[in-house]
Amino acid sequence: MAGLKRCLSALALVTLVVGRSLAAASQPLAVVLASTAPGYATGQVLATAEVTVPDGANTVFLLPSGQVITINGPYSGRVENRQPSSREQNLAQLLAPGQDRSGFGGSRSMELGLADDRLEIDPAQNGVYCITPHTDIVLTRPTDPSFDRIRLRSTVNGATVDLDWTTTAVQAWPTALPLRAGMVQVRSNRTGAKRLLDLLSWSEPGTGDAARAAGLALAGCRSQASAALSRLRDVVAPLDLYLDSSRGRFPTYHVGEPVELILRANRDAYLYCLLRDRDGNLSQLFPWQASEARIAGDQTLRLPGRWLPVGLRARAELNGSEVRCFASERDLGTELPMLVGGSAGVPLPADAAAALDRAIVTAAHGRVVTEQLILRVEG
């Protein structure tokens, strides 16, 4: 009997150790801060350290510690094996003197403004929210008008509160409801429709803005994390663009084969693509309507797709032609209308290239990045 007890105790210990190891292995490892690589989106939480970044793309990862790591493709391997780039080290040293070059510490909280304890919640939207003892929750007018009269019910103690939004736009969190971890059910008094607010008790990492942003994302508080990550991304990761083709970055086609371009920016931007033939003539590829120039960050475009009225097929005269794409923080189409609404195969005015070059170097347009791709066509 004693031997059996010892065996059971040993088995329990092994089970406990293995369980803890599995739990540790399943812990989220990093958050995507910015990426031009297809398959990664800002705020995405990685459950594995293995990542793949294609040639010409890059992805910026935020670790729970607040360390920022940029991986430039081509790369396939583990995130933790990477070291901060010299650019990140220099940026961290410039903005946070004396701190670890691979991290962004608390001395920058005032600059980024991530430590705001005011939390605005739309009660008509399901969501998970991280709260601390210092969090000041404000309820905003529901975006869904059917929730203009609502009943809040705490699943912690069953307390209920009725709120009316017909005469106000903002209301403080009701004192009758406990502001602590738990679910709060939101019910429309008009339709009976229900929403859930999941309040999580959260201890801030206490090591600065980057760790706070990572902590919110890893906890699943997406709306709070989104704002924090966007502000951090704007400091750490400037606008960038990825351009590829279905045949890779050095494509070769046979006459008649379709040409497919793959594009992606790491944030919202204005996108323009031109085709430059061997004689230096420019013709417009994208966009065909001014309203289509604005693309969302983390959106992968495949051209021609639904954005182009005609497909692009390999022709002998396209051999050696260059596809050149621009991503801009501001709309270039207002100054250069030739960039939008062109006609297939019709060359742009002779001075288009010079006008475009002037626009790119104009500081008023903000950051503009370019990528190019050479087409090879065989008979």
DSSP symbol at 258: B
Task: Name the one residue in this structure whose structure tokens are 């960039």.
Answer: 339
Please name which of 331, 347, 351 lies closest in space to residue 290, comparing C-alpha atoms: 331
pTM, two decimals, is 0.76
At residue 90, the pLDDT reads 44
DSSP symbol at 102: T
Cα–Cα dist 325/369, whole Å: 8
Sequential pLDDT tens for the chain (379 residues): 444 444 434 333 333 333 333 333 445 589 999 999 999 999 999 888 789 999 999 999 999 888 899 999 999 998 864 444 444 444 433 333 322 333 333 333 334 444 457 899 999 999 999 998 888 999 999 999 999 999 999 998 899 999 999 888 999 999 888 888 999 999 999 999 999 999 999 887 656 788 888 999 999 998 889 888 988 998 889 999 999 999 999 999 999 999 999 999 999 999 998 888 888 888 888 887 888 899 998 889 998 866 565 668 898 988 999 999 999 998 888 777 777 765 555 677 777 777 777 777 765 667 889 999 999 999 7
Cα–Cα dist 210/274, whole Å: 38
Q: Is the separation of the CB atoms in 150 and 188 below 8 Å?
A: yes
DSSP states along 176-215: TS--SSEEEEEEETTT--EEEEEEEE-----S-HHHHHHH
Cα–Cα dist 254/251, whole Å: 10
Sheet with 45-46, strands from edge to edge, namely: 45-46, 30-35, 58-62, 68-72
Cα–Cα dist 1/18, whole Å: 25
At residue 366, the pLDDT reads 77
At residue 335, the pLDDT reads 77
At residue 358, the pLDDT reads 75
Residue 71 host element (H or E): strand 68-72
**Tokens encoding 152:** 């809040």
Q: Which residues contact 336 (CB under 8 A, 6 or more apart)?
A: 352, 355, 356, 359
Packing angle of the helix pair 222-236, 209-219 (nearest 10 deg): 140
At residue 340, the pLDDT reads 74
DSSP symbol at 141: P
* Other beta carbons less than 10 A from residue 253's beta carbon: 20
Cα–Cα dist 118/268, whole Å: 26
CA angle, 200 as apex, 298 and 116 as ends, to 5°?
65
Residue 209 host element (H or E): helix 209-219
